[in-house]
């Protein structure tokens, strides 16, 4: 006689009573409980060490200002959201700025040409 345990597929997933099973899974956008707890613990750790972190950054900055600045930028990612790049386009994907022109006054060459008729005065020191 054949052993049924070997031919049965292994049971995975929920092992509790069927009446308590959530067959639809966790709702979209809901947070994992463990992830929330870890985030909260990290936030508490950070808040309790703000003064120490400031001191540590100052100590690092005394030896290597670039490294201290880099650490500040990395830490800011946890506080300030990163902005997504957006592309502005006109109708049908046309470039909005194709006819945009800036005028900042006369060109450098025009200014140099206007100085040709001016006498230069030499100053002895």
pLDDT the model gives residue 91: 79
CA atoms within 13 A of residue 86's CA, in its CB half-sphere: 4
DSSP count for the chain of H helices, then E strands: 5, 0
Give the pTM.
0.40
Q: Give CA–CA dist 104/32, Å, rounded.
A: 56
Residues of the chain whose pLDDT is less than 70?
1-12, 125
pLDDT the model gives residue 84: 81
Q: Give CA–CA dist 50/44, Å, rounded.
A: 10
* Tens-digit pLDDT profile for residues 15-42: 888 888 877 777 777 778 888 899 889 8
């Amino acid at each position: 006689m054949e052993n049924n345990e070997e031919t049965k597929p292994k049971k995975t997933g929920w092992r509790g009573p069927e009446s308590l099973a959530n067959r639809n899974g966790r709702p979209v956008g809901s947070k994992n409980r463990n992830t929330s707890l870890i985030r909260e613990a990290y936030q508490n750790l950070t808040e309790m060490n703000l003064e120490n972190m400031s001191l540590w950054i100052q100590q690092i900055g005394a030896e290597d200002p670039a490294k201290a600045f880099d650490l500040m930028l990395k830490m800011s990612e946890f506080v300030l959201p990163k902005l997504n790049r957006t592309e502005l386009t006109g109708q049908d994907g046309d470039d909005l700025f194709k006819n945009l022109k800036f005028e900042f006054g006369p060109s450098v060459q025009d200014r140099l040409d206007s100085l040709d008729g001016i006498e230069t005065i030499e100053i002895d020191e």
